Amino acid sequence: MAGISPKDMAQTIGMGLLSFPVTHFDSDNRFDEGPYRQHCAWMLEKPLAGLFAAGGTGEFFSLSLTEVRNVVAAAVKETNSKVPVVAGCGYGTQIAIELAQSAEQSGADGILLLPPYLISGKPDGFEAHIDAVCKSTSLGVIVYNRDNGIIEDEALARLCDNNPNLVGYKDGVGDIELMTRIYTRLGDRLTYIGGLPTAETFAAPYLKMGVTTYSSAIFNFLPDWALDFYKAVRAEDQATVLAGLRDFVMPYIALRNKGKGYAVSIVKAGMQAIGRPAGPVRTPLTDLSESEMAELKALIAKVQPTALKTAA
């Protein structure tokens, strides 16, 4: 959104559900911009608070730096300031700086700083990494706390003091004590995003800890279901939330857990199931088997049979 400040971007995305679109690949395994933009346009027909381009669901770590730039630029063009666009950013410090600056040049409104690739370092090294990326851009920065990139509350507070554009914290760990310490220390200084795989599972309890939004990969293929579930979470409608967990989320997770890396693969499978294919996942990820695909279609039909009409 042209001219939006980091603070306003963070407040905006905290007010509704977040979209993390898959990245489309053609038969030659190249980024397929046309279908990707069509998918973004389709998602934007629904009331979203933000679109995260080239994120984890978008297979960030399988994209070249040029492809990340192209995916983000395509999302910015298609979104056309309707909602904030937040770009995936990661790897080592120098590459992350390059990606952050590229996102700014492409017109993105913020970056999601994913954990560094493969390596782990001392806490002060990770703090310096985040600090350097924040200082390299005027965009709002959201830190993704996950895997080998865990930031403690005291370090996060220092980073916030030193970087006004550090405006968001996305939790992909599920450490309730850490989340509580961070929220207690920083309060509304940050916008908090639920980022565990299949974030719907944790949405209701996390709301109690100040996490007002989350990344919904399911939105890619069941946008109406995802929005209804989010509304029930925000309304603290426990009966509807539990029904959604029982009827869809828990069996979906059981299917997701059948293969490593399926957190992304199952989303692209869902796209194929509803007749909006986005191409295969890139290796080392693998696609669902035929039997798993059939199981997913049956699950979708159970909760929203109209979603399969385009696939008939």
Q: Which residues pair with 25 in a beta bridge?
A: 31
**166-171 vs 191-194, strand pairing mode:** parallel
Q: Which of 91, 169, 170, 183 is catalytic?
A: 170
Which position among 36, 144, 169, 214 bears the catalytic label? 144
- Reply yes or no on whether 170 is catalytic: yes
Q: Specify whether the CB–CB gap between 280 and 268 falls below 8 A.
A: yes
Q: Measure the CA–CA gap between 158 and 156, rounded to whole angstroms.
A: 5
Assigned token pair, 53: 């381009």
144 is catalytic: yes
Please indicate if the annotation marks 57 as binding a ligand.
yes
Provide the annotated binding site for pyruvate: 57
Binding-site residue numbers are 57
Residues tagged active-site:
144, 170
